[in-house]
Amino acid sequence: MNGIAHRSAHILGALFCAVAILVLTRLAVAADIAVLTNGFTIPHDHHIVMGSTTRLFLSTDDSSFTDVATEEIAGFEKELVLPTPPTPPASSQRSRTPVPAHSTTDVNQVVNSASATYHLDPDLVNSVIHAESGFNSHAVSPKGAQGLMQLMPSTASALGVNDAFDPKANVNGGSQYLRELLERYNFDLVKALAAYNAGPQRVEQYKGVPPFHETRAYVARIVHDYNKKKIAQERAAALAQKETKAQKANAASAAPAHVNASRPKRAAASGAKPAVAAVSPPR
């Protein structure tokens, strides 16, 4: 009898586990993960390939996304994520010790603030972040670099960054480090970026960019992205200047007709001879 009871309990236990696994599997959500060629991963909800650019949507409603060069994506993987348990009522939350968490941070605001502090071009800092982490504040490289600007723990500690996953602390630390490297190499951007990637020791060892494919591709990617932004800004400024000049020219050419049409009427009404209006030619 004891053997039969033991066997029945074992069968019931196995059935319970199987049912539990089946229920959890159905409740689990499949999250997409983009695996980059540099070893980083970017979790996202879904993606669209648009030629040379792939857009990774971070939410189901398409309101939040990041664009990554298609050639930088090695592939996509699926990860089963259990759904977040429902939030308990406010009454039960009060009795619990709050868990510290990073608040939603505007990366643009963080970048602008850090760039102003360390006298850097925000476009350059954004290009570095794009190459380092793809704007994923939770990115971790195979070597252990963390956060938006991929700070190694030792570098973060030396810069006074206690939490490398905090966007504000990470970007401030990374911007400070980039500024120090620029000053170290007399504002030679190429050498500074190479040192950011491979370390100052390697740059000094090879008296320039080290002959590493990863480092050279890294520097070229940032310089290309940064120059593309500058060219776009210059074109936009030139177009705006051209439109402003055209508007001024149109306003100046329309002014004589307006003056000549109004003054003779006043002169005729007063009985005086029409005055000749002196209008300066458009400059």
Catalytic residues: 132
Distance CA 169, CA 164 (A): 7
Alpha helices in 118-271 (DSSP H): 122-133, 153-158, 167-184, 189-198, 200-206, 213-270
Distance CA 1, CA 6 (A): 9
Residue 36, CA distances (Å) to 57, 77, 81, 136 in order: 16, 11, 20, 12
Distance CA 192, CA 200 (A): 8
Look up residue 210 and give its two tokens.
Answer: 């080290």
- The neighbouring-strand residues paired with 228 are none
Which residue is it, tokens 């030629």?
A: 51
- CB < 8 Å & 24+ apart, contacts of 54-63: none
Look up residue 190 and give its two tokens.
Answer: 């190429």
Report whether 176 contacts 155 (CB < 8 A). no
* Sign of the alpha-carbon dihedral angle for 192, 196, 198, 200: positive
> DSSP secondary-structure letter at 42?
E
Which residue is it, tokens 């990041």?
A: 66
